[in-house]
Amino acid sequence: MESRKHRHKESFSVLLISNTGQSSRHFHVSAVLMRLLGVFLLCICAAFGWLMYEYLSGNEVTGSYVSAGQDTTHTELTDQIAEQEETIRRLEEEKDALSRQNDELTSENKALLAAAKTTQDETVATAGQTADNNGADLRFSSRYPYSETGEVSEKYSDAHPYISIDTGEQGEVVAAADGTVVGIGSDDTYPLIVEVDHGNGYRTRYMMLQNAETLQPEGARVQAGTALISVGADNEQLDYQVIYEEKPIDPLIVLEAKG
């Protein structure tokens, strides 16, 4: 007969004893099952440890993201404040520049006004010197063109290139300087116009708004003060014009310069 070898299996006995008087239970657990149970517990512990590590690492990363976001927001606010301060500084510089330009323009305006006044004074002085030269060069004086006291009702302007004088009864319109009567006529506005040439570019016109009598014929030589027109009624108007080199000038400049 062949001899048989018996294999011995390792096992663990587990005895459960009841304290309540019930029957006890006895279990047999093999060594392999115990090893598998141990490996299973080790896997569970390893998985739990890995989950705890991932959880803690995630909290650290989230904290880093929050800190980075806060740093970015702070940087943006700092940049905006710096830009606003730069804008304010630039606006203040532009304000100062405009203020300086305003001061310069004010000074230039004052200088121009002073220069214009000086030019006007020089013009009046020149007119006075011209009026004083009553000899052969200019032969033009500043005699008032009316024999009586006539009131100047409207002064010279660009739109009104002569002066208007209100005359009275029995007065006479007289020549302002020596010269020659070169024209007697009328137009749609004036019933009578008398023009006298004084030489060297000077002419005078005596324009009556009402009918009046002419006292000198055309071509007559007259002297300063010679009667040209007889005024026969009150409240008539004489428009007196001075022309130099074909351009009207203000008669009052010459009259005031002459005094």
At 219, which CATH number? 2.70.70.10
The pTM assigned to this predicted structure is 0.48
Q: Is residue 195, in this structure, part of any structural domain at all?
A: yes
More confident residue, 133 or 164: 164
Q: Within a 10 A sphere around the Cβ of 154, how many other Cβ atoms? A: 13
Q: Is residue 92, in this structure, part of any structural domain at all?
A: no
Q: Is residue 223, in this structure, part of any structural domain at all?
A: yes
Alpha carbon 242 to its chain's center = 43
Strand partners, 173: 146, 229
* Cβ-count burial 165-184 (b if 16+ within 10 Å, e if not): bebbeebbbbbbbbbbbeeb
Q: Which residues contact 237 (CB under 8 A, 6 or more apart)?
A: 153, 164, 165, 166, 167, 208, 209, 210
- In angstroms, the Cα distances linking 210 to 228, 233, 237 are 15, 9, 7
Q: Is residue 113, in this structure, part of any structural domain at all?
A: no
The residue segments making up the domain with residue 244 are: 151-258
Number of structural domains (the chain) is 1
Q: Pick the closest to residue 254 from 116, 148, 156 (CA basis).
A: 156
Query: Amino acid letter at 124?
Result: V
> Three-state DSSP class for 223?
coil
Q: Is residue 86, in this structure, part of any structural domain at all?
A: no
Q: Is residue 106, in this structure, part of any structural domain at all?
A: no
Q: Is residue 130, in this structure, part of any structural domain at all?
A: no
Q: Is residue 33, in this structure, part of any structural domain at all?
A: no
pLDDT tier at 14, thresholds 50, 70, 90: low
Query: For 166-216, what is each residue's pLDDT tens digit?
Result: 887 778 999 999 999 999 999 999 999 999 999 888 999 999 998 889 999
pLDDT tier at 29, thresholds 50, 70, 90: low
